[in-house]
Amino acid sequence: DGESDWDVQEGRLGATANRFPSKRPLEINSVVRTRSVAAQAEAGSVGIPLVITSGFRSYALQESLFNAAVEKYGSEAQASKWVLPADISHHPWGMALDINYPNDPVSTKWLEINGYKYGLCRAYENEWWHFEGTAVPGQSCPARLPDASTTVEE
């Protein structure tokens, strides 16, 4: 675990909770990327695979995913429990990661338990796969929201 301690001490993981950029990016946020690579390395050292199955999404892709979810769930309110509109989702900002979705919640549990070391936190009770850089590395993660629709209400 010495490497993760070094990352935090040297500030490579960022010394604060990650902040949103001022304009929409074209890729995953560099701090989120660095944190995820460090977590993947530690998890891999104990035989746990952590695969980013979705990270940065273009605004258009997020909009398309939300529209498909509205079709599937029957309303924007129901869809928002699982997929947020592009204006609200953190994926088009490069600030969210889906890990091992949809097939490996067991390995992803490792990140839920250890993600705080890297400032990566599970965001929603109903989505075992969705993580964001919402904590200061090494400190406790904030309480999870029940589902993504809570983000719409804030």
Q: In a 3-state reduction of DSSP, which class is residue 113? A: helix
Dihedrals phi, psi of 50, to nearest 5 degrees: -120, 110
Task: Give the full edge-to-edge strand order of the sheet including 121-124.
Answer: 52-54, 96-99, 127-132, 121-124
The pLDDT value given to residue 22: 79
Rounded to 5°, the CA angle 144-150-154 comes to 110
The pLDDT value given to residue 60: 97
The pLDDT value given to residue 131: 98
The pLDDT value given to residue 15: 66
What is the bridge-based pairing of β-strands 96-99 and 127-132? antiparallel
The pLDDT value given to residue 7: 43
Cβ–Cβ contacts within 10 Å for residue 147, how many? 17
- Of 35, 42, 67, nearest to 135 by C-alpha is 35
Taking only the tens of pLDDT, the chain with its 154 residues reads: 344 443 443 456 666 666 667 788 999 999 999 999 999 999 999 999 999 999 999 999 999 999 999 999 999 999 999 999 999 999 999 999 999 999 999 999 999 999 999 999 999 999 999 999 999 999 999 999 999 998 766 5
The pLDDT value given to residue 17: 65
The pLDDT value given to residue 4: 42
- Of 64, 59, 67, nearest to 89 by C-alpha is 59
The pLDDT value given to residue 63: 98
